Amino acid sequence: MLKVGLIGCGGMGNTHNKALKALSQNHEVAVVALADCRKDFLDKAKELWPEATTYSLGFDLIDTEELDAVHICLPSYLHTEHALRAMDKGVAVLIEKPVCITEKDCKRLMEAQNRTGVKVMVGQVLRFFEEYKYLKKVTDSQKYGKLQTIEMGRKGGDVLWGFEDWFHDEKKSGSVMLDLHVHDVDFLRYLLGVPSSLSVKADRLASGLINHVRTDYRFGDIPASAEALWDVSPDLPFEAYFIASFEQGTLEFSSRRKPTLAFKPKKGEILYPLTVMETEYQKEDTGLNIESLGPYYQEVKYFIGCLLKDLPIEQATLEDGVEAVRLVFYEQSLVDE
């Protein structure tokens, strides 16, 4: 039985917790320890694992328990210290994105992985969305011809739910650039490699916090863009989207439409690829509603699967997470000029 500790039981910790519970129905995995400094969140998480030992602090969980893996779902500024502590104990780590928020921490994490050989994965979850997987597949296979241009984005309302309002502190979250934009940056790197050039525009709130970014890239002859917004109002409904133009038509995704993915050919009828495709969700029966967890379930399943079968992590590796934040650091340096 794979023994897992969950550190941080807020918004994302709750999602990881449910994914682990669903996985435990048909995999040899259990959450044996939980940590959160807010008792109400800890108590809620414990409802899924009544036998789990609870801790107020993540460090105490790592120091006390003998675990196979920890999931780090803490505010972003706390990722590195907890990940290093677990890696030094030989415990595998799934770290939420952004993996860290400083260049110094990128180096410390990579050095720790080289030294310890511990398996580490970063929660760059777009790689586990059916729609983004389809985009990657048809780009690589050129099913609709060569990719011509791509526009990606993530827009949502003001982020009010964080512990001690950490999202609004640039030193803790890295602003919308490291929090939301890093998703598209990671995916563009995964899809197209390293950009050959880029330019950035960003806007700030009165407090000075960057809440809007738009970056235009060139990946060789392919123009691309990615935009991210934390709106001033909390009420703007969240939307993730991409518009990918291929030689034979345009693949369009919006998290706010049903079906979410459409292919609009130059000639002929609109196709809805995922409604006819057998999705990964449909193949499994855990007795729990895994469709609501969707890509998060797939992400956690991949991580746990690599540990159970002793396979290397090849998706959303520590290096992928580090290179994504490094590209964002570079973009930030252009904003600050």
Here's the x/- map for ligand NAD, 110-129, by CB under 6 A: it reads as -------------x-x----
Report if residue 13 touches ligand NAD, rule: CB under 6 A. Answer: yes
Helix, strand, or coil here: 185? helix
* Residue 311 DSSP symbol: P
Question: Among the candidate windows 31-39, 101-109, 143-151, 314-322, which touches ligand NAD by CB under 6 A?
Answer: 31-39
When the beta carbons of 9 and 177 are compared against ligand NAD, the nearer one is 9
Backbone angles phi, psi at 106, to 5 degrees: -55, -50
According to CB under 6 A, which one of 30, 37, 209, 274 is a site residue for ligand NAD? 37
Report if residue 38 touches ligand NAD, rule: CB under 6 A. Answer: yes
For ligand NAD, the binding residues in 58-77 under the rule CB under 6 A are: 58, 73-76
According to CB under 6 A, which one of 25, 28, 57, 90 is a site residue for ligand NAD? 57
Question: Among the candidate windows 35-43, 102-110, 226-234, 310-318, which touches ligand NAD by CB under 6 A?
Answer: 35-43
Report if residue 94 touches ligand NAD, rule: CB under 6 A. Answer: no
CB of 74 to ligand NAD, least distance (A): 5
CB of 20 to ligand NAD, least distance (A): 15
Question: Among the candidate windows 11-19, 23-31, 250-258, 303-311, which touches ligand NAD by CB under 6 A?
Answer: 11-19
CB of 227 to ligand NAD, least distance (A): 17
Walk across the sheet containing 29-35 and list its strands.
Answer: 53-55, 29-35, 2-7, 69-72, 92-96, 120-123
Backbone angles phi, psi at 78, to 5 degrees: -100, 0
CB of 151 to ligand NAD, least distance (A): 20
Q: Which residue has the tokens 């939420």?
A: 96
Q: What share of the chain is helix, strand, coil (3-state, %, to 5)?
A: 40, 25, 30
Here's the x/- map for ligand NAD, 278-317, by CB under 6 A: it reads as ----------------------------------------
Report helix angle 318-336 to 103-116, nearest 10. 170
When the beta carbons of 249 and 294 are compared against ligand NAD, the nearer one is 294
Helix, strand, or coil here: 131? helix
The answer to whether residues 69 and 307 touch, using CB atoms and an 8 Å cutoff, is yes
Report if residue 234 touches ligand NAD, rule: CB under 6 A. Answer: no
Cβ burial, residue 122 (10 Å; 0-12/13-18/19+) = buried
Question: 201, 207, 125, 218: which is closest to 165 by C-alpha?
Answer: 207
Q: Which residue is nearest to ligand NAD (CB)?
A: 10
Q: How far apart are CA 19 and CA 179, in angstroms?
A: 22
For ligand NAD, the binding residues in 131-190 under the rule CB under 6 A are: 161-163, 179
Question: Among the candidate windows 9-17, 105-113, 140-148, 194-202, which touches ligand NAD by CB under 6 A?
Answer: 9-17
Question: Among the candidate windows 20-28, 29-37, 85-93, 316-324, which touches ligand NAD by CB under 6 A?
Answer: 29-37
Helix, strand, or coil here: 144? coil
Alpha helices per DSSP H over the chain? 11-24, 39-46, 58-64, 79-88, 103-116, 130-141, 170-173, 175-176, 182-192, 273-276, 294-308, 318-336
Report if residue 97 touches ligand NAD, rule: CB under 6 A. Answer: yes
CB of 73 to ligand NAD, least distance (A): 5
Q: Which residue has the tokens 């827009």?
A: 155
When the beta carbons of 32 and 262 are compared against ligand NAD, the nearer one is 32
The answer to whether residues 92 and 71 touch, using CB atoms and an 8 Å cutoff, is no
Separate counts of helices (H) and strands (E) for the chain: 12, 13
Binding site for ligand NAD (CB under 6 A): 7-13, 35-38, 41, 57-58, 73-76, 78, 96-97, 123, 125, 161-163, 179
